[in-house]
Chains A and B, each alone.
Chain A
Amino acid sequence: MLRDLEHAKRPVLEAVKCSLDNSIYNPNVGYFTPGKKMVSTELNVSSVQKMARTVFFLDVLLNNIQTGAVNTKRELYYIAKGYVKSDSRLRPLDFDDQNESDAIIQFICDMLQVYREEMNCFANDRGGQTYSKQLIVTESLGDGTKAEVDLGSMGTTPFQPKNKPQVFKLRSRGKIDFCLVIESEGTANTLVSNGFTKRNKCIVVGAQGVPSNGVRGWVKTIQDQLEIPVYFYGDLDAYTLQNIYRTLKAGSAASLIRNQDFSAPEVRFLGVLPEDVKKYDLHCYPVSEKNASDMRSLKKARDVLQNDPFFHDKRNKKLSDILNWLLKNKVRCEQQALFSINPKDPTTPEKVILEKIKNKSYV
Chain B
Amino acid sequence: MTKSSAQKNSQQKITQHSTAEYFAKNLQQVGFSSPVKAVLTTLKESVDNSLDACEEGEILPEINISVKRVGIGSAKNTDLIEIKVEDNGPGIDPEYLPTVFGEYLSSSKFGRGRCSRGQQGIGISAATTWAQLTNASGVKVISKTKAMRKAVSCQIDVDIKANKGAMKEKETIDWDRSHGTSVVFRIDGRVQLNGDGGLLTYLEGTTLVNPHLTLKYKLLDNEPVEVKRVSEIVPEIPSPTLPHPHTMKLGEFMTHAHLFGKMNLQTFLKKGFSRVSDEAIKAFVQNKLPKSFLQKPITSTSESEFKTIFQAIQATELQNPSTRSVLNVGEEALSKSIQRLGQVDFFSVVARKPKICDHKPVVVEVAVARFLAKQNLSDEQSAVQLLRFANRVPLQFDKAACAITNAVESVNWRVYGLAQAKDNLPFGPYVIAVSVVSPFIKFKNASKETIDASDDLVEEIRRALMQAGQKLSRHIKREVSAADLERKLQHIEKFGPILVEYLGKVVGAPKARVKRAEEGLTKLLGRDSKAAENKLSVAETELAALKAKQKDFNLSVEESLENQEEIVQD
Contact = CB atoms under 8 A, between A and B. Distances in A.
A49 B497 CA distance: 11
B513 A48 contact: no
B495 A92 contact: yes
Nearest to B497: A89
A45 B488 contact: yes
B506 A58 contact: yes
B372 interface: no
Q: Which of A6, A56, A59, A90 has the most CB of B within 10 A?
A: A6
A10 B525 CA distance: 9
Interface residues of A, number: 26
B24 interface: no
B520 A59 contact: no
Given A45-B532, A49-B495, A90-B498, A55 B503 contact: yes
Contacts of B513: 2, 6
Contacts of B494: 49, 92
A135 B516 CA distance: 62
Contacts of A59: 502, 505-506
B242 interface: no
A5 B521 contact: yes
Interface in A33-59: 43-46, 48-49, 51-52, 55-56, 58-59
B544 interface: no
A7 interface: yes
Given A2-B513, A45-B491, A55-B503, A10 B524 contact: yes
B525 A55 contact: no
Interface string B221-232: 000000000000
A257 to B, nearest CB: 22
A89 B500 contact: no
| Chain B binding surface SS class | helix
Given A49-B491, A62-B506, A89 B517 contact: no
B525 A44 contact: yes
Q: Which of B492, B499, B521, B525 has the most CB of A within 10 A?
A: B499
A49 B487 CA distance: 11
B25 interface: no
Interface string B514-532: 1011111101110011001
A9 interface: yes
A5 B503 contact: yes
Contact of A92 (B498, B500, B517, B532): B498
A276 to B, nearest CB: 41
A56 B507 CA distance: 12
Given A45-B532, A59-B505, A52 B516 contact: no
7 contacts: A5-B517, A7-B520, A10-B524, A45-B491, A49-B494, A52-B502, A56-B498
A89 B491 contact: no
Nearest to A56: B502
A154 interface: no
B520 A45 contact: no
Contacts of B525: 44-45, 48
A4 B520 CA distance: 8
Given A48-B495, A52-B502, A8 B523 contact: yes
B261 interface: no
Given A2-B513, A45-B532, A55-B503, 9 more contacts: A5-B503, A5-B517, A5-B520, A5-B524, A9-B520, A9-B524, A44-B525, A45-B491, A46-B491
A93 interface: yes
A44 B521 CA distance: 9
Given A49-B495, A56-B498, A59-B506, A6 B524 contact: no
Contacts of A51: 495, 499
A242 to B, nearest CB: 27
A90 B506 CA distance: 16
B509 interface: yes
B416 to A, nearest CB: 23
Contacts of B529: 45
Nearest to B506: A59
Contacts of B499: 48, 51-52, 55
A1 interface: yes
B496 interface: yes
Interface in A116-169: none
Q: Which of B494, B500, B502 has the most CB of A within 10 A?
A: B502
A6 B521 CA distance: 8
Contacts of A93: 495, 498
Interface string B11-43: 000000000000000000000000000000000
A45 B492 CA distance: 6
Nearest to A58: B506
B504 interface: yes
B7 to A, nearest CB: 55
Interface in A1-41: 1-2, 4-10
A5 B519 CA distance: 8
B381 to A, nearest CB: 19
A4 B519 CA distance: 12
Contact of A8 (B491, B506, B524): B524
A2 B518 CA distance: 9
A48 B496 contact: yes
Nearest to B516: A6
Contact of A6 (B498, B517, B528): B517
Q: Which of A5, A59, A62 has the most CB of B within 10 A?
A: A5
Contacts of B524: 5, 8-10, 43-44
B492 to A, nearest CB: 6
A360 to B, nearest CB: 49
B498 A89 contact: yes
Interface string B436-472: 0000000000000000000000000000000000000
B501 to A, nearest CB: 8
B528 A2 contact: no
B506 A55 contact: yes
Interface string A297-332: 000000000000000000000000000000000000
A48 B491 contact: yes
A363 B175 CA distance: 98
B503 A2 contact: yes
A152 B523 CA distance: 68
Q: Which of B497, B500, B517 has the most CB of A within 10 A?
A: B517
B338 to A, nearest CB: 37
B532 A55 contact: no
A4 B521 CA distance: 9
Given A8-B524, A45-B529, A52 B509 contact: no
> 8 closest pairs, A vs B, by CB?
A92-B494, A5-B517, A8-B520, A45-B488, A52-B499, A52-B495, A55-B502, A45-B528
Contacts of A9: 520, 524
Nearest to A57: B502
Contacts of A10: 524
A5 B513 CA distance: 9
